[in-house]
A and B are shown apart, each in its own frame.
Chain A
């Protein structure tokens, strides 16, 4: 029996296990929207296409599944670009379905036409234009396969209107034979042996864990590896949660706003074991002086990440879970008491911790760090936290001790303001019972604040904690430090009344202006089973410390 393109698309999605789509309709995709009414797939109507991608991305990060979004052609498609680039930089599996004008009109500057293939080529893992309905099922299968395997990433499928309306026999391919795409999962045994020998010989080893540990679900293996051999762990922003932040061996985040002990450990270690991390410039600082005394082992599924920024001694291309499993097997036979062997190194790290602990002083104005710390305490570290981008993001990374993977959703690579709120929506859809909190700045939250309508429509109890300092905090901090306090356009003279704004959308608005109001405000918000904006009026001039100025070596930290 023949089926329409829309039917083939939706049935293919069902066969891929998709039950949620985030989207926004328009002329080119009305055929698909019409068919959605007959489909078991639930559609979440967002208010801006950028939010559709971020929501699919937040859904993917929190659940480990591939997120899906559906938008129309032209402006609908171009509005997704920031969301796609965000997912691309952080290696998040998302399938973006865009409408396109009919095949006969492509290239004719038709109404609502955009060359979305050309526009998104540099920020997708792969993209497709479906020119023939006979290719549709195969392309959908390939899109999901590519998005979710190897180093995950966004895949865009452009769907011309006539292809969606056309009809054909539906045969979903059972398997794929892709000549040109074969990610390497298994780490090379010889390289693993070499790495193992180096690990046993090291006096001051350090694990540097990134988002790849989370993508490959390798937290358990990483934790076992670190604990068995008593190796301290520092993680990137993207890696937070892959190793329990409360563990004795946890050094917290490294890099520009990393902890003193993590950055000192990197500078002084004699072996750095990088797992699923890509040596981003926010992590390395000045590359020539990054881990200057260390041999480097780098485990990554993406060969292009290896030796891109920092030369490594032992590259291991493979899935972090597979490689760590193999290393763990080797270390099982090592019966030494590694904690005693490493005593000197661990003591040194503790000394650094005690010299410059993460600290702030709560006086009569609310400190943003205090808010984050209280959110951590009151949720007992069990919430899913998303963030926007800026100072609040760094305070969240510093003061919320993530203990489980997939509990921090943040735009690490692209640094997308406006990411956190729609990502929280995606996570809340994936986990309706969990507490999901977007920790935001007053600047960032305004980038996608229209999504309050989405949370209202679907009764999503997302909580938003606005650390309101009446300015674009991070650029203002940089202007203070590097531009002689010439605050050019970083002070937000006018912002909405967030409490009234929440009420306007049918949510609840709460405000705290004094330190003693912080805890009751969070407690109240957590007890309300609907969306809440908490407006915390915080210290305006507070800066994020410690800090390594961009391009400086990690040991040159500006401290409190």
Chain B
């Protein structure tokens, strides 16, 4: 099963290496990892997407909790949460396809963030299905490059982790 794990960590050098090393050293896989500062600049938040059976996920969360620099770990699996990913897509934009690309971008509430005579670069955010859907729609136009941020996730409701 696929799990989205959120971890509050001390914002100091080496923490990312510890987390990444924990995954590689124990043979766990990271599908995506997103890190950024929280409101408290001494604390960062990581959103890690990983895959494994119950036992592996239990080990992952326990091993993360064991790291001295990690303050809290929450597995969102089975809980109500929102996740988003942002993507930048550079797509070939010939005169014949420019209008179609604009229409698709509009439908997906995306933004054109860079234009050249031959290309558009589009920014879109959303859940995984939405991101996949726009990629599928733009593919026939000729996608040059794609950059994805990896997921960020937050629980629904007023309580924080």
Contacts and interface: CB of A to CB of B under 8 A. Distances in A.
B144 to A, nearest CB: 35
A307 interface: yes
Interface stretch (B60-68, B114-122, B125-133, B134-142): B60-68
Nearest to A126: B68
Contact of A179 (B63, B66, B71): B71
Interface string A129-165: 1000000000000000010000000000000000000
Interface in B56-94: 58-59, 62-63, 65-66, 68-71
A38 interface: no
Interface in A38-93: none
B18 A180 contact: no
B107 to A, nearest CB: 44
Interface size class of B (residues with CB under 8 A): 10 to 19
A304 B10 contact: no
A478 B58 CA distance: 35
A304 B14 contact: no
Nearest to B58: A307
Nearest to A308: B59
B36 interface: no
Given A180-B10, A304-B59, A118 B66 contact: no
A422 B69 CA distance: 32
Interface string B10-34: 1000100110010001000000000
Nearest to A303: B62
Contacts of A180: 9-10, 68-71
A308 B71 CA distance: 22
Contacts of B10: 179-180
A372 B2 CA distance: 53
A304 B71 contact: no
Contacts of A126: 68-69
Contacts of B71: 179-180
Contacts of A117: 14
Nearest to A305: B62
Contacts of A307: 55, 58
Contacts of A311: 55
Contacts of A179: 10, 71
13 contacts: A121-B17, A121-B21, A129-B14, A146-B68, A180-B9, A180-B68, A180-B69, A180-B71, A303-B66, A304-B59, A304-B66, A307-B55, A308-B59
Interface of B: 9-10, 14, 17-18, 21, 25, 55, 58-59, 62-63, 65-66, 68-71
